[in-house]
Each structure stands twice: as structure tokens, then as C-alpha cells.
Structure 1
């Protein structure tokens, strides 16, 4: 196998090894989910563009949780469980508690890990146009890459 082809194969395998765990999280195969934080309400603990890894159905007071609020997902800290069973939540960057109180059925789970900036890359590679452009770039690069010629490829020498 040619040295350049080996390097390309190695690069593709490395990218797959990096993206495979994220794909497993997003697919729902594991008891964990991954979401991207869109706003700064949890800064500096969880800044925007962070990827939050959520353990499904496991959370406690004081932990950052992800829950459903109408048609969106919210990642805020669980401050307390109220007497009526509702939950009080608050963004770390906010001065007061959230006005709405989710019920436990709305909670997806507790955040166990939040790598900063990784959410940007997840959103970037989630876009079909990104994948298409990367495939196109790889094909064009392969076609334009200079190749070593062999004796069979060379024209005969004129004497």
C-alpha cells in the first residue's frame, strides 16, 4: 500500500474513532444522551457551544440537569424539589430562579460531563452540507493529488 494512501486511511480511522462515541451518545443506544448548550444561562459552568453528556433518569438536587420545556430543551441547575413535586431550576448566570417549574417527567437526566466547545463541532458535523462538502473535498483532493509514476506508466524513451 502506498504511503499516501496509508496516511489517508489512518486519518479516516482516527476521525471515525473520535466521532464514534459521539454517534453512540446521539443514537440513544447507551443510557446517556448528548446535547449542545445554545445560550449563556449556565456560564461560566457550562458556556455556550458546550456538549453536555446527560445520564438518563439520574439526577439530584444541586446537579445540572437537562429537561424539556415546551418544545425546547433547557440545561439548568436543579435547586430544589417543591412540596407539590415540581422542580425549581436556575441558570448559574441568572440572578433568580426560573419562573416555570418543570415536573420530574420533563427531566431527561443529570449532566455528568460538559466538554467546552465540543458542541460546536457536533453541530458542524451534524449539518448534511458539511458532510457533503468534506466528501467532495476528499474526492477532489484524491483526484488532484500527484501520484508516483511507475515504469509501466512512463512513455518509452526515445533513443
Structure 2
């Protein structure tokens, strides 16, 4: 009788241990939902206060707001615009043509005269072809978030791909193989999305000087340092948003072929190699850990939980 009582006590303890993960999952779900609601509430309050964000897609502002940045603006309110302010504005319809979409620009105030505001991109050689008024200004830039624009662009594709991988891997019954498949699959999805959007290594040719010593002016639009390499040489090391010049062969007629070559320090290459190798190594380790294994852990729990009958 004493042994039977101990067995029932053991079964109750194991049952409680089994129910604990369920309660933990419920707690994590509640915390996640609460965090999402708080973020949505904060975003809604910011939008109600007039804050707006814009994704930078052209290199006209150079290193001030590189391609892929997210600029945060606030309404002008009582703020008096001065030369040097960075503003987001919509050019007048007459300046862009009646049939051209009026897209927002983010440039710096270069001059103000009698209410007419002249703007200029930091990386542009000349001021904009139009002048704007205070009414054309959407807001004054108060923050620049480098790389955040890339994240927003890639997020839908990344989330969709990760969701498909997670769903398909769920059909694997072995937990270690399922985890390995998800790890490798998620890494593959992120690699494909990065290859399509090219947020890390890219450049734009902004001009060609076909003089006696022809050169092309380029701007780095990726997040990592690069060198622009042409047929006649390479540029200096360019960080995100930086401009440089690439020598061109004599007689170049404007058709140039320039490639972006990743230019990291030895420490940077080491970090990149580790980041690329870790998902594959961990996935292979998890997959191989199931070989030669012995019985699953749950089998022991089931044996402990089994009631002992006495006649």
C-alpha cells in the first residue's frame, strides 16, 4: 500500500511537470501580445502627434541619409526654417509636370528668399530645379535610422518565407531534425531575400566625365564598405552613402561597367564567416545528434507516471 501511494504521488508530480510547459507557453503568448499592442499604441500616438517616416531610395543625400535609411519627420509647427535644415517636401506640380507623380523628397534647405525655399541634396552637384514654399514642406527631419528602410522593404518577403519554412518543417516528427530544418531553411530564405534586395553591397553611377581622363562618379548604396571597380581601376573605400570616382578607359562613351567589391577588414571577414557558418553547423549538429541515440526522454517520464496496481 505504501508503494502504491508513492507511485500515485510520482504520477501527480510528473503530470504537473507536463502541464508546466503549457502554462509557460500561455505566459509567453500573453507577453508577446501585450508587447505588440504596446508597440502599436506607441506608433498610433506618434502618428497622431504628426510624426511620419519616409524610406530613402535615392543617393541624393549622401552619408547624411544613405539609401535604405528611414527618416523621421515632425510638422513644422512654429519652427522657423533656416538654411541647413533637412526637410521632406513634395515639389510643386508645375515643377514635376502634371502627369508625373508627386513623390516626397528629403533634401537640405540651401537658401531662403522672400518665402521661396531652395533645396539641394548633399550629394548633388547643383541645387534642385524648383523652389518650394513652406506649404510644400511635409516635415522637418529629426532623426535618420540607417538600414531601417531596408528592413521594412524586406520584412513582408522575409516573414512570408519564414512562415512557409516553419509550416513545412512542422511535418517532420523528429524534434531535432525539425529544428535543424527550420534553422537552415530560415537562413536560406533570408539569404535569398538579401540577394534580391541587395541591402549590403550595391552602388549607383551618378555621373560620367568623358574628358581627357574619363572618370565615373559612384555612390555606395549598400550597408557594408565596398570598392567600386572598373576596367581601368578602382575607387577608394566607400562606406554607405559615400561618393567616389572610378577611372575609365580612354574613349569611354558613357557606357561603363562598374562592380561593387566587398571591402572588409580582417575582423569583418571573420565575423561574416562566422555568421554565415553558424546556422549550417548548428543545423548539421542537431540532425546528427539523433543518430545512435537511445530512447526518447519522454519514455522515462511515461514509465514513472505509470500507476502501480496492487491486488
Which residue of the partner structure matches residue 97 of structure 1?
Answer: 127
| CA distance 1:51–1:139, change in 2 (3 Å) | same
Alignment partner of 2:86 out of 64, 67, 71: 64
Alignment partner of 1:75 out of 73, 85, 106: 106
Distance 1:138 1:10 in 2: 21
Stretch of structure 1 that moved more, 96-105 or 27-36:
27-36
| CA distance 1:121–1:34, change in 2 (3 Å) | same
Stretch of structure 1 that moved more, 57-66 or 36-45:
57-66
**Is residue 24–residue 30 contact of structure 1 (8 Å, CA) maintained in 2?**
no
Tell me the C-alpha RMSD between the 2 structures: 4.0
Q: Where in structure 2 are there 5+ consecutive unaligned residues?
A: 1-19, 94-101, 177-296, 304-311
Which residue of the partner structure matches residue 49 of structure 2?
Answer: 30
Instruction: Report which structure shows greater RCO (CA 8 Å, sep ≥6).
Output: 1
| CA distance 1:135–1:98, change in 2 (3 Å) | same
Distance 1:100 1:11 in 2: 51
Distance 1:141 1:82 in 2: 64
Which residue of the partner structure matches residue 175 of structure 2?
Answer: 146
Which structure 2 residues correspond to residues 120-139 of structure 1 after superposition, within 5 A? 120-125=150-155, 127=156, 129-139=157-167
| CA distance 1:10–1:136, change in 2 (3 Å) | farther
**Is residue 67–residue 106 contact of structure 1 (8 Å, CA) maintained in 2?**
yes
Q: Where in structure 1 are there 5+ consecutive unaligned residues?
A: 153-159
**Is residue 89–residue 98 contact of structure 1 (8 Å, CA) maintained in 2?**
yes
Distance 1:46 1:88 in 2: 19
| CA distance 1:5–1:146, change in 2 (3 Å) | farther
Distance 1:138 1:12 in 2: 19
Shift of 1:93: 0.9
Distance 2:32 2:175 in 1: 20
Equivalenced residue count is 150
Deviations 1:70-127 (A, max 9, x none): 52110000122221x22110111112211111222211111000011111001222x4
Distance 1:135 1:11 in 2: 21
Distance 2:72 2:49 in 1: 11
| CA distance 1:16–1:136, change in 2 (3 Å) | farther
| CA distance 1:74–1:56, change in 2 (3 Å) | same
Alignment partner of 1:47 out of 66, 86, 89: 66
Which residue of the partner structure matches residue 21 of structure 2?
Answer: 2
Shift of 1:132: 2.9
